[in-house]
Structure 1
Amino acid sequence: MAKLNIVLYEPEIPSNTGNIGRTCVATGTRLHLIEPLGFRLNEKSIKRAGMDYWDDLDVTRYIDYQDFLEKNPGAKIYMASTKAPQTYTEVQYEEDAYIMFGKESGGIPEEILLENQETAIRIPMMNDIRSLNLSNSVAIVLYEALRQHNFDHMQLGGHLTKYEWK
């Protein structure tokens, strides 16, 4: 069973982190937060965006990037960045892959990207667009990784409340 990991490097906007937390709960994905955070985790905007799912979130905090690396030795980390040389669909995500996204104002530092060049990935977009919203980017890449694993632990069919599908 795929147990993917989303890593947020120094996130700054609480509503993005709340939305990402909700996506992680909905997909059975772990969330890793690398400090410093641009907000407090008890802020209303996180709870509002994550709704009542935040208490069900598998989340771990780290004091910095080095702490994250030390506590996750050998982790294969895909670095999502607008500066990356390959697209997010060109890689094969392992069942326990870590997918890192940088802070909203600056992304992942270039020295970290250089150290992880072979796993640096990007979402294609028009040349004159700086970047997509962080929570949208996480959803796009995460669902590709889940698709590659056939959504193996997720409900694939929906149900109507008043009717039945024909």
Structure 2
Amino acid sequence: CLVVGDRLHFYVSGRTSGENSVALAFLRRDGFAWMDAGVQEGTLTTRPARFSGRRLFVNVDNPKGALRVEVLDEAGQVIAPFTAEACVPVAADQTAHRLRWKSVADLSSLANQPVRFRFHLRNGHLYAFWVSPDASGASRGYVTAGGPGFTENRDLVGSTGRN
């Protein structure tokens, strides 16, 4: 699999007796699984996690919907000012969209603390989320065999290297 912009490229071949074929299959980047919500809001709350980055990014497809996120402590209490109400709602189809809250620059005040993220989604799909140290959204995760723009097998490029 190669990472090319916002898509994964899978080169496949098939054989039967005497017949051969080659094909190229595509998948949305990090699109293996998702949270789905219709008109009625759906929520997803993560397990407690620690991070060292500063910016929360999502892979989301909800151009006619809304996504908001709030940050909770280990006990499930909302940590001000990271409330769902203060989260700038997302209505987009992007594989690396940065989330923002109205009164705070980033998540650095919560680094290395156990927190949960609660996602509130309407009319869309949430595929992935990550906290990045970079404004580009580089996840530092593995990118299989890489692809155009990658110099190693980890995402150190972020959205700046995507089509």
Q: Tell me whether the two structures share a fold, i.e. TM-score over 0.5.
A: no
- Write 1 or 2 for the structure with the bigger share of strand: 2
**TM-score range normalised by the length of the shorter chain:** under 0.3
Please tell me whether Structure 1 or Structure 2 has the larger radius of gyration of its CA atoms: 2
| Higher RCO (C-alpha under 8 Å, 6+ residues apart) | 2
TM-score, normalization by structure 1:
0.22
Could you say which structure has the higher helix fraction?
A: 1
